[in-house]
């Protein structure tokens, strides 16, 4: 049974500095990080599948797919979620590891990967909330009479629910960044300042892209 210790979650979310400082004095434990990533896969698969169905219903009746078609789509979504989560885990770890080399970071890749997993805890909640607002976007728009792809895109981004989803996504991303800062500080033996810079570069660029795409250029 997948069971993540509630106390662990609260420690990570409320006191990441104390949590990772304590974990550095313990052996590397993979149970909780793997559970976090499994939960990411499950939540990601469910939210993606329901969002896809909601999106398709805006254009055509999902009844035309039949039960077999929906099962095939579910399998594809599950495999896609597994690959996506694994890739994200490796990508963030690799980015933090490479950037921290500039600051003479010390510590092995596996320890950093272990700590990076905890930073995805806010994403589990974020995925559910963002999926809810994304579904609201497609339920609020009638796509039946729209043929221009650009017009569809403009209507999606103009919907207030999309802006709410993006704003909440930014908040949860900053929460994750805060966890990663302290995880990186201990896993790679960095100063707090250098850890903030290391995490801030990729996360800052990602948030800047989101802000420009959703709020500034629309």
Q: Mean pLDDT throughout 145-149? A: 64
Mean pLDDT for the chain overall: 85
Q: With cut-offs at 50, 70 and 90, classify the pLDDT of residue 100.
A: very high
* % of residues, the chain, pLDDT over 70: 83
User: Among 115, 89, 123, which residue's Cα sits nearest to residue 17?
Assistant: 115
Taking 80 as the threshold, does the pLDDT of residue 205 lie above it?
A: yes
When mean pLDDT is compared across 43-57, 121-135, 200-214, the lowest value belongs to 43-57
Query: What is the per-residue pLDDT across 187-204, written as a single tens digit (0 to 9) for each?
Result: 999 999 999 999 999 999
If we measure between CA atoms, which residue out of 2, 212, 15, 34 comes closest to residue 113? 34
How many C-beta atoms lie closer than 10 Å to residue 13's C-beta? 16
CA angle 13, 169, 95 (to 5 degrees): 75
Asked whether residue 112 carries a pLDDT value surpassing 90, the answer given is yes
Paired tokens of 41: 């896969």
Distance CA(181)–CA(197), nearest Å, equals: 9
Give residue limits of the domains in the chain: 25-216
pLDDT in tens, 38-91: 999 999 898 888 877 766 665 555 555 667 777 888 889 899 999 999 999 999
pTM: 0.86
Of 34-38, 72-76, 107-111, 174-178, the least confident: 72-76
C-alpha to C-alpha distance for 156 and 123, rounded to whole angstroms? 23
């Amino acid at each position: 049974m997948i069971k993540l210790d509630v106390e662990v979650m609260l420690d990570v979310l409320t006191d990441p500095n104390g949590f990772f400082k304590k974990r550095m004095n313990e052996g590397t434990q993979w149970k909780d990080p793997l559970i976090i990533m499994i939960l990411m896969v499950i939540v990601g698969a469910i939210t993606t599948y329901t969002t896809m169905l909601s999106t398709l219903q805006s254009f055509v009746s999902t009844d035309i797919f039949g039960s077999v078609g929906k099962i095939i789509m579910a399998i594809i979504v599950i495999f896609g979620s597994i690959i996506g989560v694994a890739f994200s885990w490796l990508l963030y770890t690799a980015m933090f590891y490479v950037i921290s080399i500039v600051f003479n970071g010390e510590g092995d890749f596996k320890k950093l990967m272990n700590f990076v997993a905890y930073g995805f805890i806010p994403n589990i909640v974020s995925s559910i909330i963002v999926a809810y607002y994304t579904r609201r976007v497609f339920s609020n728009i009638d796509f039946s009479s729209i043929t221009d792809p650009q017009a569809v895109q403009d209507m999606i981004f103009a919907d207030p629910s999309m802006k709410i989803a993006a704003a909440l996504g930014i908040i949860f991303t900053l929460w994750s960044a805060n966890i990663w800062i302290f995880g990186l500080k201990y896993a790679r033996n960095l100063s707090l300042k250098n850890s903030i810079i290391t995490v801030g570069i990729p996360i800052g660029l990602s948030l800047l892209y989101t802000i420009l795409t959703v709020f500034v250029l629309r």
